[in-house]
């Protein structure tokens, strides 16, 4: 400690000497005079330079172990701080980690937060706009750890620390909302801070709506950007915490869940207004705000619980109680679902308008995916509540459905999806393909689209596939084809058969899977299957053999090609070929010679499959 102090003193003296010498040299003074000046001024300058930095002093005692006078020294250093900036620096110290909740620094942390709030409130109430602006920025920076945006996983203690900070920082929202109002010199800074503390979503929505609707400095794009940023940060904060819910105590979970639902309900309609703004940054922040909410709904189990397995609960009373909890939670989603359902067409329409950035278009389609995902989670939860295994049934109440399920309601969404498929950017097309697959994995949505919008959407998919260069887009859409219109094989089959020649093996395998799903109706694909079954690796050949089996009797011309695989190096391919030939019975009689020639195969499993195939073929030929 003394050595460090000695170094510090030497550094300060050297610095003072340089300052004084420079000063006297500028006046052509002799070096001797400079030395005299140091001797004369040195003690005063040195005393000033060695004044303790209260933040350094605070940090020193924070890590001082279990020293007896440690709490007193920490409190003295804290009270020596005269600005929110100084106390804010202490809140950001890493030394708190693991000590603020139940460790030796708990009381000190609470006192530090209290001191910060006191000084910050004084700064916000100052008559000097510069002081107000700086204080608002300090609140935002100190409160940024509230959002958890830097660490999505977090830890139990960091979430608990955030909870305490959020509760304390929200005490400053009255002053911040006053400064965020019309005519204030520090509107931007106040909005920046409000997005990063647990402010009232109702009040934040009201203020931001006024700005985004043009009632408040309509020509100030920076102000509208600040409003959209506040919406995004507030939504991001509560969404990140929802993901961290597994670290939060049971008592805090209900409060966090209610807070999330209120933030979503109040801020999404305002963000939709921002989505129509002429400024790109405003639109981007607005779509990010919506996405933060929908993404958490699709991902967080504290919002829509699906992991509770009531079958493992032995006590009947407890099981009934758990199911009642789920029903109550499901009912509490209704206001937010109403907001989502009422805005989905506008979100899809505005987000995919020509001229929107790639980011906005991609995020819009990601939101549609989220809608489908949390709709599925609701359905899974409802089946758990009802004790039903019927995956086709839509068991949750109609008012909880985020999609407007009627012909008029689904049409704008399909139109938006078609626009996404025609986008010039592959990232947008891929996100659109994923959204289509997510939406139409749900049987009732699929049936509705088949009945009302099948033609245009299917046509857009079929028009795109032959010329699509992105493998992942093709894969997603190929999976969709066998679901969205299995009855229109005359339109789908030629496109899928053409994909059998695709350079990517996964695309070829998926194309074969589509043909397999069509079964006997896919007889026009037999020539292509016969050519493909003797090409490619083992996995591809196995897939083609299965497709040939699915086509059935009309696939007889492909059987000699299947028999050629009895010589393949992979025993699984040889076994599958023999079994497939046997299942055709007498129709495969022309392959008997190939089977007889392969009957001495080195693999016992292959030999058994060949023997069974020969028996079945000969029995069927009689």
At 598, phi and psi to the nearest 5?
A: -100, 5
CATH topology of domain 125-280: 1.25.10
Tokens of 204: 């934040």
The most distant pair of C-alpha atoms in the chain lies apart, rounded to whole Å, by 125
Domain ranges of the chain: 2-49, 60-117, 125-280, 453-621
Residue range 11-36: mean pLDDT, rounded: 44
Q: Give pLDDT, residue 389.
A: 62
Under CATH, which number does the domain 453-621 receive? 1.25.10.10
Q: Tell me the pLDDT tens digit for each residue of 572-603.
A: 999 999 999 999 999 999 999 999 999 999 99
Q: Tell me the pLDDT tens digit for each residue of 377-404.
A: 888 888 777 766 665 566 778 888 888 7
Which DSSP state fits 357?
Answer: -
Same topology, domains 125-280 and 453-621? Answer is yes
Q: Per-residue confidence at 414, pLDDT binned at 50, 70, 90?
A: confident
Q: Per-residue confidence at 271, pLDDT binned at 50, 70, 90?
A: very high
Tell me what percent of the chain is helix, strand and coil, each rounded to the nearest 5.
Answer: 75, 0, 25
Q: Give pLDDT, residue 25.
A: 44
Give alpha helix (H) positions in 306-425: 316-332, 334-351, 358-386, 407-421
Q: Which residues contact 542 (CB under 8 A, 6 or more apart)?
A: 572, 573, 576
Per-residue pLDDT for 20 more than 80?
A: no
CA 414 to chain centre: 23
Q: Tell me the pLDDT tens digit for each residue of 148-180.
A: 444 434 444 455 556 777 788 889 999 999 999
Please give the share of the chain, as a percent, with pLDDT higher than 70.
Answer: 79
Q: Which of 78-92, 196-210, 264-278, 564-578 has the lowest mean pLDDT?
A: 78-92
Q: Per-residue confidence at 479, pLDDT binned at 50, 70, 90?
A: confident
Residue of 248, 264, 258 whose CA lies nearest to 328: 258
The most confident of the ranges 205-219, 281-295, 452-466 is: 281-295
pTM of the predicted protein model: 0.81
């Amino acid at each position: 400690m003394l050595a460090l102090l000695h170094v510090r003193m030497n550094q300060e003296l050297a610095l003072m000497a340089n300052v004084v010498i420079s000063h006297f040299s500028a006046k052509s003074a002799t070096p001797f005079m400079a030395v005299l000046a140091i001797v004369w001024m040195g003690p005063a300058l040195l005393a000033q330079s060695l004044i303790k930095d209260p933040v350094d002093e605070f940090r020193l005692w924070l890590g001082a172990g279990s020293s007896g006078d440690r709490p007193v020294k920490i409190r003295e250093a804290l009270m020596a701080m005269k600005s929110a900036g100084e106390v804010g620096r202490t809140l950001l110290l890493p030394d708190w980690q693991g000590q603020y909740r139940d460790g030796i620094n708990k009381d000190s942390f609470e006192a530090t937060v209290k001191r910060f709030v006191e000084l910050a409130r004084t700064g916000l109430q100052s008559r000097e706009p510069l002081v107000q602006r700086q204080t608002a920025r300090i609140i935002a920076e100190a409160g940024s750890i509230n959002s958890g945006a830097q660490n999505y996983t977090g830890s139990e203690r960091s979430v608990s620390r955030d909870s305490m900070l959020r509760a304390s920082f929200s005490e400053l929202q009255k002053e911040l909302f006053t400064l965020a109002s019309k005519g204030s010199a520090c509107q931007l800074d106040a909005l920046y801070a409000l997005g990063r503390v647990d402010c009232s979503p109702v009040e934040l929505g009201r203020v931001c709506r006024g700005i985004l609707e043009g009632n408040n400095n309509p020509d100030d794009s920076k102000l509208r950007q600040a409003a959209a940023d506040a919406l995004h940060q507030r939504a991001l904060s509560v969404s990140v915490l929802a993901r961290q819910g597994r670290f939060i105590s049971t008592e805090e979970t209900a409060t966090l869940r209610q807070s999330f639902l209120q933030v979503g309900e109040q801020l999404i309609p305002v963000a939709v207004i921002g989505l129509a703004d002429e400024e790109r940054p405003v639109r981007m922040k607005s779509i990010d705000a919506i996405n933060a909410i929908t993404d958490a709904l699709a991902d967080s189990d504290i919002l829509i619980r699906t992991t509770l397995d009531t079958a493992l609960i032995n006590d009947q009373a407890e099981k009934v109680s758990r199911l009642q909890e789920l029903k109550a939670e499901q009912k509490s989603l209704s206001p937010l679902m109403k907001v989502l359902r009422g805005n989905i067409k506008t979100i899809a329409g505005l987000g995919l308008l020509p001229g929107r950035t790639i980011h906005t278009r991609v995020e819009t389609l990601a939101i549609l995916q989220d809608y489908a995902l949390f709709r599925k989670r609701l359905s899974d939860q409802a089946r758990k509540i009802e004790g039903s295994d019927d995956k086709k049934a839509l068991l949750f109440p109609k008012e909880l459905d985020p999609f407007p399920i009627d012909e008029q309601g689904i049409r704008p969404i399909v139109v938006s999806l078609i626009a996404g498929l025609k986008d010039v950017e592959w990232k947008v097309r891929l996100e659109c393909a994923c959204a289509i697959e997510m939406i139409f994995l749900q049987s009732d949505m699929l049936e509705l689209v088949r009945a009302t919008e099948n033609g245009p959407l299917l046509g857009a998919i079929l028009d795109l596939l032959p010329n699509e260069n992105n493998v992942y887009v093709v894969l997603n859409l190929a999976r969709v084809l066998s679901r969205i219109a299995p009855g229109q094989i005359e339109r789908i089959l030629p496109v899928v058969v053409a994909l059998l020649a695709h350079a990517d093996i996964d695309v070829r395998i998926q194309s074969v899977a589509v043909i397999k799903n069509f079964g006997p109706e896919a007889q026009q694909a037999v020539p292509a299957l016969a050519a493909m079954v003797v090409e490619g690796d083992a996995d591809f050949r196995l897939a083609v053999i299965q497709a040939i089996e699915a086509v059935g009797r009309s696939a007889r011309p492909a059987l000699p090609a299947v028999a050629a695989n009895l010589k393949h190096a992979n025993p699984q391919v040889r076994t599958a070929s023999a079994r497939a030939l046997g299942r055709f019975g007498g129709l495969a009689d022309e392959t008997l010679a190939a089977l007889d020639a392969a009957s001495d195969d080195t693999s016992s499993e292959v030999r058994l499959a060949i023997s069974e195939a020969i028996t079945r073929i000969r029995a069927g030929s009689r």
